[in-house]
Chain A
């Protein structure tokens, strides 16, 4: 872990600590949808202004964190086994229902966790770009009448999403696929296709192949909260669509995105246990 990473981790812990103090207040301030819609920041074209620096607050990511789904997510004391977990139950994290062959493939990948491409600094794909460990890597959103751009700290991943609902290209295969956005009222909807079939969904062997298709929804539910939802379909992998749902919280303006230079020196494989083969891989 580089010094910058360490600093980020410390910040993340601080944010999480602050969050656990703040969440009752946030829960009260969520308000009714109608009053919130009127008070949302907007661009001149009338669209909700999604711009800012955002941090995934809770939910997703292998159930390490819990959160409510009314827009006020928070890290549970004790990493998912604490009060929040007992009171509200675990968050409805993604449920994967694989086809028999894909289940066998998944079990195989689970044994070869160190082959997770993200451990070798590859782009995470979608929705993993946003479904990073909660509270750790922010995303900067810059928006105009033609684009919504997501600049991710993690893997310095970039998605510049045109908002003209244009068609996906032919003969284009990418880790992050090809994203085309449109506004459905106040919801920013992104259709993602053209995946190259290389990205995994997490560190635990969950995966998609080249037939992956994602519909993402970004909903600004109050000034400081985006509810993010992604529906992942892949007919050769899943028998049912997989749903991701978590919130992004606004990071105070005095903070900034840090550089994540992974390939340039980070040793990501250290995050995998020796049982996963981390030791073996490191020795190489």
Chain B
């Protein structure tokens, strides 16, 4: 383990401990003191059941800092960039039409995959937890935090270690690439990026999603986003295949599997022998 890795691990566990202590901020802010929602259980009678197809509402995927922003800390709703990093963000913003990795059909990264305009599915059984994101068929397998992060990788979807804090799933995500963006507006991070996610059911059909983002080389201090995942309940709802196709110019574009352009019929006519005269 490198020194920065070791330092990050120590910092990470300290921050994890710090985030566990206070009561949920949202309840404190509204002054309501309701009993926490008790989620259904898996067949082990113990593990909270988060299974289902979920999607956020709103426009956080366009711009985390915009009108539909979901930044709850710092209070102003702006990312605490270092001055240099802010310049890079502005440059990203100017080039967003082509530079956004999402435009190239790359995996969205964490936490961006959570608040996309497409659904995700939580797969679960006792001891197993995974999220499949419809966009670009990305997925994350959550591993118990009893073992340390997979070291020295630069993954798009990161390496996830989790544990249960009561009925809240707390996930520690590290080992991420510096190529991923956080939204369409060019917000970004480096390989020092570290995320602590909290998933908590607030009703039968809602999950509160909170993520604390830290990156000492890009942000002057950690910051936090919070949003709500809503259960998709339409009959027959499912995650559909999302695989980009090259257009006439070789540029990849999303083409729905319900779009007939996805269908390619092999033409055998050129192999047919001409009829004998």
Contacts and interface: CB of A to CB of B under 8 A. Distances in A.
Interface of A: 3-4, 43-44, 51, 100-102, 104-105, 120, 122-123, 140, 142-144, 147, 149, 151, 156-158, 160, 162, 171-176, 194, 196-198, 207, 209-210, 236-237, 254, 256-259, 261, 263-264
A264 B272 CA distance: 40
Interface residues of B, number: 47
A-B pairs with lowest CB-CB distance, top 8? A104-B271, A101-B268, A259-B155, A174-B241, A174-B257, A209-B266, A101-B271, A173-B263
Given A140-B141, A210-B264, A258-B150, 18 more contacts: A43-B43, A101-B272, A102-B268, A104-B271, A105-B271, A149-B130, A162-B238, A197-B264, A197-B265, A237-B266, A256-B141, A258-B153, A259-B156, A261-B177, A263-B104, A263-B105, A263-B252, A264-B177
Contacts of A44: 43
A256 B51 CA distance: 22
B129 to A, nearest CB: 9
B258 interface: yes
Contact of B241 (A105, A156, A175): A175
Contacts of B266: 105, 197, 207, 209-210, 236-237
Interface in B132-163: 132, 136-139, 141, 143, 147, 150, 152-153, 155-157
B269 to A, nearest CB: 8
A181 to B, nearest CB: 14
B106 A144 contact: no
B262 interface: yes
Contacts of B137: 123, 156-158
A40 to B, nearest CB: 16
A171 B261 CA distance: 11
B146 to A, nearest CB: 10
Contact of B107 (A3, A236, A254, A264): A264
Contacts of A236: 266, 268
B124 A144 contact: yes
B137 to A, nearest CB: 5
A272 B228 CA distance: 46
A149 B132 contact: yes
13 contacts: A104-B271, A147-B123, A156-B137, A158-B239, A160-B123, A160-B132, A173-B257, A175-B243, A209-B265, A254-B147, A259-B156, A261-B106, A261-B177
A176 B241 contact: yes
A198 B245 CA distance: 10
B29 interface: no
